[in-house]
Structure 1
């Protein structure tokens, strides 16, 4: 059997039946959490190929639900025997991966999703890891496009850029500079780019270096899987052998994984091993970490990246336009570059997205790239970004101050009414005013389940309907956050 043997229509019908079986087998909540965003890509011989939108979901489903999914397929496809889950990028699934080698019995076979394969960037190692003892453990994928050469520096990020280059230079020469280093900013300002660039520069200069780059969700996945498979000691030993550890998206680290990170951090610093961490808030605001870990991060070098000024935005757009010109021979007039720089004020990803949209509009319609085309093509992007970007951290501060409840109690397990109601309101505001998903909000509120967040949102919505005074109070909080 192959993907070509099954029509698109019949494949959709098959996937609909399998999804129904899975929902019946695991229940509505589990299905929504782990299966709802999966898509069937193809069936090849005995292999079922699914795709998911995130690396963590790929890894979690592959590790925890492979047998159940394959069994659900066997009712219609008796020969189904294996599952492969790859990550979707821009709505398209990555190619199927080569089968993972059998791991040693005492080591969990933890395989990350494949790295992006952009064109025309040169090929790069899919992951950076220590293979000296045949470990199946591995780091997150390194993006070959995120190098120092491709980073656009300006006033907002020049300190972070300089520190990152210094770290890479020191690591290549077996020395340690500032340690630990913590880089923080809101989304899309280049934290991940710098961490990838450090890993890329060091691994290119000295392939023997044991470098591990992990996103927080990958760190949690490895740790949880190791505990489930009774291999936690092997996981700890793997991390403690590194020369350079880079942890991204620190704000998503929760629960026992955060405690394990604290132990790992202490061990690596004692052994003079370089640690670089990135997150969306300063160390003091990382409530999921205990005070000692926050203190150690604060005691290193803390480097903020601030909002981009117009000069940096223009430099980013110009760099992207030059790349488009080199690849497609497509000219971006200075007036268009200036318009994008002034109109798109959020972050670097939106600036890249604005250029990509204009390229697509030109190729699809044949219209010249002009300011009127930019105004028409980017209207929704500009409109959605005009409002102030509200962070969950902003909501916690406002709610804490307004209701006179300490911030740490909003994130605690306390169930007294004077804490529960403000906490529910804060979760409601997080859902209403940010783009965070329910699971993300739950993680930021002390590691709560997404169903707890949903209950809080619905509870506050009902309270607003029943209590006019409370509704006005919540509208006041919204205005305070949006000012």
Structure 2
């Protein structure tokens, strides 16, 4: 059986429904439903998931009746969200300190007129920016809108990989971009974002951005892009305080069936101010109860907690740490990184070291050039861009850089979310 194209299929469904429904009865909902066919099965997907109960009861039986004579079965496709069900604004724990940011995110998520456009969410690492963006993406998906939710690094990869990247981005109705601070390492993307911004804004399509820290601290942003970001609604998330972290621990351990005394809940909430580290510690405790023993002694409890460290406890990354990690992973002597050798393996290692120093330590290009043998700053610019380019097109190179990053000890220096 030949599967019809979507336009032909849509016309066929319309004609079949006209045998059991009148035109007025189809008005208002037919244009919000998509159809696809695999063999003898017709799949129905609702752009407005809230319609599901009514559609299942009132329309689906009639649709099945209309197609039964043709030997075609009909099913309603399950709702697909960009992110898991847990990313909902109702699940975002906040007190009065973050009341305005949460209310703003809720308004953007529920409003389809793009009244606050763009929404830019700022805050320190672990404050909940990514959670809010994912919750907004899920809410927009439930409204039936086409969502593009990406990080700056992933978007840069798509632009390296796809010849139709711009039209692909513009085919979406909502554009959500995380980690704006990483534009420092993808400078050529800034001009493209200005163009994308203007197109989305002109067509009243919602944009949502996030940035670690503040936009004011992102001195590398081009003035045209900065002014556009400041054009919309900018909100600042404050780090979760003890009360919010306690709520999180209590809810998490109840949801996952982890037995913890109130004293241990308080200890966890006090010790870990970063929500990622807090959840990571809870996962380690849960794994212990699943794999070793349902009871955790005090000694084991504190040993498990010692596997995680807060940013305040971690020593800052240094250039020596990065050079050591590069030399150990790639088998290059540290002194070769700052020498003037031109062997391909040494050059690649030197470029990676420059790139990681730029990323983790925020060193300027002239500083990098001086650090790595007194070179010209244009050499440092080329090195960083070359690593980005190689990582985008070569999975092996990308894996090497990730392995080196893993070897660099945890630090309190700026990091991406």
Q: Rate the CA distance shift 1:282–1:384 in 2: closer, same or farther, 3 A.
A: closer
Aligned with residue 209 of structure 2, among 277, 283, 294: 277
Please say if residues 133 and 176 of structure 2, whose CA atoms lie closer than 8 Å, have aligned partners that are also in contact: yes
Q: Tell me the distance in 1 between the aligned counterparts of 2:182 and 2:261.
A: 41
Residue 157 of structure 1 aligns to a residue whose secondary structure is: helix
Aligned with residue 167 of structure 1, among 74, 83, 108: 108
Q: Rate the CA distance shift 1:305–1:438 in 2: closer, same or farther, 3 A.
A: same
1:214 aligns with 2:142: no
1:355 aligns with 2:282: yes
List gaps (5 residues or longer) in structure 2. Answer: 1-77, 319-352, 375-412
Please say if residues 178 and 211 of structure 2, whose CA atoms lie closer than 8 Å, have aligned partners that are also in contact: yes
Report the Cα offset of residue 303 of structure 1: 0.8
Report the Cα offset of residue 237 of structure 1: 3.2
Q: Rate the CA distance shift 1:156–1:351 in 2: closer, same or farther, 3 A.
A: farther
Please say if residues 336 and 370 of structure 1, whose CA atoms lie closer than 8 Å, have aligned partners that are also in contact: no
| Stretch moving more, 295-304 or 279-288 | 279-288
Aligned to 1:92: none
Q: Rate the CA distance shift 1:443–1:301 in 2: closer, same or farther, 3 A.
A: farther
Mark the structure with the bigger radius of gyration.
2
Q: Tell me the distance in 2 between the aligned counterparts of 1:271 and 1:126.
A: 24
Aligned to 1:342: 270
Please say if residues 94 and 240 of structure 2, whose CA atoms lie closer than 8 Å, have aligned partners that are also in contact: no
What does 1:145-164 correspond to in 2, within 5 Å?
145-164=86-105
Structure 2-normalised TM-score? 0.55
Please say if residues 332 and 369 of structure 1, whose CA atoms lie closer than 8 Å, have aligned partners that are also in contact: no
What does 1:56-71 correspond to in 2, within 5 Å?
none
Please say if residues 258 and 288 of structure 1, whose CA atoms lie closer than 8 Å, have aligned partners that are also in contact: no
Residue 89 of structure 2 aligns to a residue whose secondary structure is: coil
Q: Rate the CA distance shift 1:126–1:359 in 2: closer, same or farther, 3 A.
A: same
Aligned with residue 366 of structure 1, among 293, 302, 309: 293
Report the Cα offset of residue 210 of structure 1: 2.3
| Stretch moving more, 262-271 or 190-199 | 262-271
Aligned to 2:377: none
Aligned to 1:438: 356
Structure 1-normalised TM-score? 0.48
Q: Tell me the distance in 1 between the aligned counterparts of 2:373 and 2:98.
A: 42
Q: Rate the CA distance shift 1:143–1:252 in 2: closer, same or farther, 3 A.
A: farther
Post-superposition CA distance 1:321-356 (Å, at most 9, x none): 11122xxxx4211111011011112x1111111111
Residue 177 of structure 1 aligns to a residue whose secondary structure is: coil
Q: Tell me the distance in 2 between the aligned counterparts of 1:307 and 1:240.
A: 34
Q: Tell me the distance in 1 between the aligned counterparts of 2:149 and 2:358.
A: 21
Post-superposition CA distance 1:76-120 (Å, at most 9, x none): xxxxxxxxxxxxxxxxxxxxxxxxxxxxxxxxxxxxxxxxxxxxx
Residue 150 of structure 2 aligns to a residue whose secondary structure is: strand
CA RMSD of aligned residues (A): 3.4
Q: Tell me the distance in 2 between the aligned counterparts of 1:181 and 1:225.
A: 28
Q: Rate the CA distance shift 1:371–1:318 in 2: closer, same or farther, 3 A.
A: farther
What does 1:1-12 correspond to in 2, within 5 Å?
none
Q: Tell me the distance in 2 between the aligned counterparts of 1:316 and 1:343.
A: 14
Please say if residues 259 and 289 of structure 1, whose CA atoms lie closer than 8 Å, have aligned partners that are also in contact: no
Aligned with residue 173 of structure 2, among 216, 239, 243: 243
Aligned with residue 306 of structure 2, among 367, 379, 382: 379
Please say if residues 183 and 278 of structure 1, whose CA atoms lie closer than 8 Å, have aligned partners that are also in contact: yes
Q: Rate the CA distance shift 1:440–1:187 in 2: closer, same or farther, 3 A.
A: farther
Q: Tell me the distance in 2 between the aligned counterparts of 1:443 and 1:200.
A: 34
1:331 aligns with 2:259: yes
Post-superposition CA distance 1:280-323 (Å, at most 9, x none): 13223333431021012123211111222111111111111111
Q: Rate the CA distance shift 1:291–1:147 in 2: closer, same or farther, 3 A.
A: same
Q: Rate the CA distance shift 1:246–1:444 in 2: closer, same or farther, 3 A.
A: farther
Q: Rate the CA distance shift 1:390–1:265 in 2: closer, same or farther, 3 A.
A: farther
Q: Tell me the distance in 1 between the aligned counterparts of 2:148 and 2:361.
A: 24
Residue 210 of structure 2 aligns to a residue whose secondary structure is: strand
Residue 148 of structure 2 aligns to a residue whose secondary structure is: strand
Report the Cα offset of residue 190 of structure 1: 1.4
Residue 255 of structure 1 aligns to a residue whose secondary structure is: coil
Residue 246 of structure 1 aligns to a residue whose secondary structure is: strand
List gaps (5 residues or longer) in structure 1. Answer: 1-122, 128-141, 392-430, 461-480
Q: Tell me the distance in 2 between the aligned counterparts of 1:442 and 1:341.
A: 27
Equivalenced residues, count: 263
